[in-house]
Structure 1
Amino acid sequence: MSKIFKRIYTYQFLLPAAIVYLVIFVVPTGLSFFFSLTRWTLSDWELIGFDNFVTFFKEPSLSIGFRNTFIFAAVTCLAKVAGGLLLGVFLTSKIRSRNYLRSIVFFPTLVSTIAVGIVFSMMMHPTTGLLNTTLAWLGFEGPDWLGDTRIALLSVAFVDVWRGIGFATVIYIAGILAIPAEYSEALQIDGGNAWNKFWSIIVPLSRPATNSVIILSFIGGLRSFDLIWAMTRGGPGFATDVIASIIYKQYQGGFYGLATAGNVILFIFVTALVFPLSRYLNRTEVDL
């Protein structure tokens, strides 16, 4: 009986978190799966089976949306990993004002995504934007950053990296500072230099931080919507359309059941990519 009471006493502390998780995640997810099988409005619904999923997969721009979603997630994830690692190494070195520099690097993360999108849309304007004006002053002709179908998606990805690299850097700073100093001392005794320290100590032993940045950045890239919508609204044409923007356009058109089915598809798509990736990364972690 004492063991039973001990378990009940322990589970009491988990109950508030379980209730919050149930109300905020489990119930809405279950309702989403249900309403994806219906044709619904704010006042009525009708069960129609899998018709919404069939219709959604017939969306002309869906294949482009899947491709753009994966490209956007992959590019932003790799850039945040590489840039965050380099900035993390730089900001944990013996430099002056490193705390001030850390604040500067992290600051873009605190700014509203919509505000960032609006500001960079103005900066990337082909004729009056700051970027092309500066390039013209230097004697170069700048491209139409958001109007050229070849570079529009990469332009938005650059802005997403600028905004999110500070968070990746903070994770790397924590990971690098957690590496025991004995490793660096042993390397110095063996005559190793800064390059040896980077490749032999920092890169392998900051693997937990790398795994966290990869997972968080990849999920964020797959679910990205607000920055893309603020900057291009999926244009020009379908050049920057991602799955989330296609879903939003269905909501705008009043096709709520169809858009809900799209959300379910996006949930399954993200889970199918991230779950095996997370399992693989966790198996390859290096213990300190």
Structure 2
Amino acid sequence: MAAAAPTSHGKSRSLYPGWFFLPAAVIYAVLFLAPTLSSFYYSLTRWTLFNATFIGLDNFVQFFREPFLVQGLINTVVYAVITSGLKVVLGMALAMLLTSNIIARGYLRSVVFFPVLVSTVGVGITFTVLMHPTQGMINEGLALLGIKGPGWLVDPKLALFSVALVDVWKGVGLATVIYIAGLVAIPKDYYEAARIDGAGPWQNFLYVTLPLSRPATATVITLSFIGGLRTFDLIWAMTKGGPGFASDTVASVIYKQYQAGFYGLSTAGNVVLFILIGILVVPITMFLNRKQGHE
């Protein structure tokens, strides 16, 4: 690897000329900056594939007048909090298990990570069948135990949480891999020093593992929270936002407007979602990074 050359001010300077970064900058501008700026413009228009009429903020005003938007906003935040929280807890627990001396550790790691590789739509269709209120295997299994299974996807009080649990099942493997990378990077000297001081398993976790795995925790929280706020495919595959609007998220509301032919309105919704993610995720990321920097 090429090392960085020191400058007269004592700071390192890259040996690579600045134009080496030009291809990446062009790709970033074409695939991200241009569509983003275009979205901001088209959110202020009433557009079709052939023309666009500037109408100012009318799309945003109409979007926020949608009767089910408030429910969608609440559902989106609740979904993101549930999925990210469970992925942190379960990911840490599984990572600790899969870094211990257990039999078939490599095989179990593959099993845990496998759902991440499966199509989200395929997972949604599969669990829709499994969670059928009368013929699904889950409720049939509960019936054998004398328990009447709930309407996982047809009960307005359970639909959103049911989809969230499926999301956790599918995504916890990635969180586990991130935590495994964080745990194996912790120097063994810390655990040896804690053992000499008489620390037990709980003290090791509380005062060594948990603080030193904070970078992994920050990564899992950030990725999971962003994914939860953007969720659409699993919701659409399992409930299509139903029953009623019980499991609608901002993304599904946007898609329904697009299906109805309100392209400008749906583009405004995308801008709202973009701003919502920024408002919620940026402070969380700054807080987690500040905590890391104070260690």
Q: What do residues 223-280 of structure 1 show as CA deviations (whole Å, max 9, x unaligned)?
A: 0000000000000011000000000000000000000000000000110110111101
Cα offset for 1:10? 2.1
1:105-254 equivalences under 5 Å are 105-254=112-261
State whether structure 2 residue 88 is matched by structure 1 residue 81. yes
1:100 to 107, 113, 118: 107
Q: Which amino acid aligns with 1:215?
A: T
- Secondary structure of the 2:46 match is strand
2:272 to 255, 262, 265: 265
> Using the alignment, how far apart are the partners of 1:114 and 1:206 within structure 2?
32
> Using the alignment, how far apart are the partners of 1:9 and 1:82 within structure 2?
42
Who is 1:282 aligned against?
289
1:18 to 25, 28, 45: 25
Where structure 2 has 5 or more consecutive residues not aligned to the other structure, the ranges are 1-6, 8-12
Who is 2:79 aligned against?
72
Greater mean alpha carbon deviation, residues 190-199 or residues 248-257 = 190-199
Q: What do residues 135-172 of structure 1 show as CA deviations (whole Å, max 9, x unaligned)?
A: 11111100000000111110000000000000000000
> Using the alignment, how far apart are the partners of 1:226 and 1:131 within structure 2?
22
Cα offset for 1:9? 5.0
Calculate the aligned-residue CA RMSD, in Å.
1.5
Where structure 1 has 5 or more consecutive residues not aligned to the other structure, the ranges are none
> Using the alignment, how far apart are the partners of 1:14 and 1:185 within structure 2?
44
Q: What do residues 6-56 of structure 1 show as CA deviations (whole Å, max 9, x unaligned)?
A: 989521221111111101100000000000011111111111111100100
1:256 to 259, 263, 266: 263
In 2, are the aligned partners of 1:204 and 1:286 still within 8 Å (CA)?
A: no
- Secondary structure of the 1:284 match is helix
TM-score in terms of structure 1 length: 0.96
In 2, are the aligned partners of 1:64 and 1:241 still within 8 Å (CA)?
A: yes
Change (3 A) 1:136 1:9: closer
> Using the alignment, how far apart are the partners of 1:8 and 1:15 within structure 2?
15
Q: Which amino acid aligns with 1:261?
A: A
> Using the alignment, how far apart are the partners of 1:199 and 1:96 within structure 2?
26
> Using the alignment, how far apart are the partners of 1:145 and 1:175 within structure 2?
35
Q: What do residues 166-202 of structure 1 show as CA deviations (whole Å, max 9, x unaligned)?
A: 0000000000001011001111212222222111111
Q: Which amino acid aligns with 1:208?
A: P
> Using the alignment, how far apart are the partners of 2:47 and 2:256 within structure 1?
16
> Using the alignment, how far apart are the partners of 1:42 and 1:227 within structure 2?
28
Who is 2:10 aligned against?
none
- Secondary structure of the 1:39 match is strand
Cα offset for 1:287? 7.6
TM-score in terms of structure 2 length: 0.94
Paired-residue identity, %: 58
Q: Which amino acid aligns with 1:93?
A: S
In 2, are the aligned partners of 1:205 and 1:287 still within 8 Å (CA)?
A: no
> Using the alignment, how far apart are the partners of 1:240 and 1:277 within structure 2?
25
State whether structure 2 residue 56 is matched by structure 1 residue 49. yes
